[in-house]
Amino acid sequence: MKNTSRKNLFLTIAVIATLIAVGVHAYLFQHFYVVKFGTDPGASVCNINETFNCDTVASSTFAQFLGIPVAMWGLATNLILLFLLCVTRWNLTQDRDKTGRYAFLMSSVVLLGSLVMGAISFTAMTTYCLFCMAAYVLSILTFIGAWQGANDLSISNLTEDIKDTFVSERWVLGSLIAIPVIAFVVNLMYTEQNGFNDIERRSTEVVSSWTVFPEQKFDLTKGLIKQKGSDAPVMTIVEFADFFCPHCKHAAPPIHAFIESHPDVKLVFKPFPLDGTCNKAVNFKDGIRCGLATSVMCAEKIAQKGWTAHDYIFDKQNELMGMQNLDKSIEQVATATGISLDDLKNCLKDPATTQLVSEMAKEGEDAQISGTPTVFVNGKLLPNGQQKLNLEAVYKSIKK
């Protein structure tokens, strides 16, 4: 009796761990497409810093297998494992011992997959996904629970059980076949429902449009610059954006994830405030948008904290828009970057800094941009350039 209670306890632990793993994989599956198509309403909760960033991992070449997100494979496999564990735990089969061993074998497959993905993560990448790491830990807990909850785990029994899947236990074989079926069907339904397949088909048209646009000349030394690698870039992205533009806020995560996963790509961010105070292409004036853009360039000039200020302002966009107070906004930027408020204010008054912002805005005006965000690749306008899929398509075209 005690032995049965103990095994049930471990099986319960395995069930709970697998349930959580299903939720983690479901989030990562959805997040993969959020990053790929630039539909992110804000920064992922999994983005901590440059080292721990789920957006970057979702943008890597290791995030897909056979055209399906790896997270979907993990979700489908864990669902089948959950089924086997539940059947065993609550005695929903005539041969509980054999089903328990099948659950153990499936948990071994899940653990092996985690080990492989973990090895790839720690040897081939420099950025890590905390949710992925959580999935690895959960696979270990599930394996231990299934192992301790199974009966008669001998090599001979396991061998015979595997043979039986082709004879008397074909339902188990059917469950295994269901994994790729679930992965393919759910992925297809999700992409079709959200219109992603149409977007993917249009990416070839985007590349064709990009090739015929006239090349613009930008000063690539002016603006915030980001590049993961140190070699000469084969692809340079110039992004014009306004800090109070919601679409610009949504564009930042996928563009940055793309940069982080491609060391030979450089990003040059140029503020294009929709504010006539510093941008002659705009009639409306409030001074706040220009002030925020200038504060970002000041943060970069004073302490190389321009990207920190950039990320903070986008993260607090709604709050700062509601505040409509430049002085208080600057105080918050100073606190977020760790820069002295006096130093930041002095830089804001410096004609050279305000002139820099105006010059970058003039570059956008000369390039005849009609809204924000606007993205150029190697000097040519890229329609919907905030979508990672389009960036990938152009990147492949350039590499060819």
Q: Which range among 47-61, 336-350, 378-392 has the greatest average pLDDT?
A: 336-350
Q: 188 and 227, same structural domain?
A: no
Q: Which pLDDT score, from 0 to 100, does residue 1 have? A: 47
Does some domain include residue 94? Answer: yes
Q: What is the CATH number of the domain that holds 155?
A: 1.20.1440.130
- Nearest-10 crossing angle of helices 96-124, 2-37: 40
Q: 314 and 218, same structural domain?
A: yes
Q: Which pLDDT score, from 0 to 100, does residue 27 have? A: 94
pLDDT above 50 for 149 = yes
According to DSSP, the β-strands at 374-377 and 380-381 are antiparallel
Q: Look at residues 162, 193, 224 and tell me which one is the last residue of a structural domain.
A: 193
190-201, pLDDT tens digit by residue? Answer: 999 988 877 777
CA distances, 303 to each of 135, 269, 289, 348 (Å): 38, 17, 21, 14
Task: Give the domain range for residue 348.
Answer: 214-399
Q: Which pLDDT score, from 0 to 100, does residue 281 have? A: 94
Beta strands, E only, the chain: 64-65, 68-69, 224-227, 235-241, 265-271, 374-377, 380-381
pLDDT above 90 for 188 = yes
Q: Which pLDDT score, from 0 to 100, does residue 280 have? A: 94
Confidence of residue 42 (pLDDT cuts 50, 70, 90): low
Q: 336 and 221, same structural domain?
A: yes
In sequence order, the 6+-apart residues with CB closer than 8 A to the CB of 43 are 253, 311, 315
Instruction: Pull the structure tokens for residue 398.
Output: 């350039």
Q: Is 267 helix (H, G, I), strand (E, B) or coil?
A: strand
Measure CA 246 to chain center.
18
Among 52-61, 163-172, 235-244, 311-320, where is mean pLDDT lowest?
52-61
Q: Counting beta carbons within 10 angstroms of the beta carbon of residue 116, is it exposed (0 to 12), middle (13 to 18) or buried (19 or more)?
A: exposed
Q: Which pLDDT score, from 0 to 100, does residue 223 have? A: 97
Q: 141 and 248, same structural domain?
A: no
Distance CA 328, CA 358 (A): 23
Do residues 384 and 206 lie in contact, with contact meaning Cβ atoms separated by under 8 Å?
A: yes
Q: 351 and 231, same structural domain?
A: yes
Of the chain, the percentage scoring pLDDT greater than 90 comes to: 77
pLDDT above 80 for 34 = yes
Using the structure block, give the residue that is written with the tokens 């959950």.
Answer: 82
Mean pLDDT of the chain: 92
Q: Look at residues 193, 222, 252 and tell me which one is the last residue of a structural domain.
A: 193
Average pLDDT over residues 302-309: 97
Average pLDDT over residues 203-231: 92
Q: Which pLDDT score, from 0 to 100, does residue 38 have? A: 67
How many domains does the chain divide into?
2
Q: What is the CATH number of the domain that holds 224?
A: 3.40.30.10
Q: 172 and 56, same structural domain?
A: yes
357-398, pLDDT tens digit by residue? Answer: 999 999 999 999 989 999 999 999 999 898 888 999 999 999
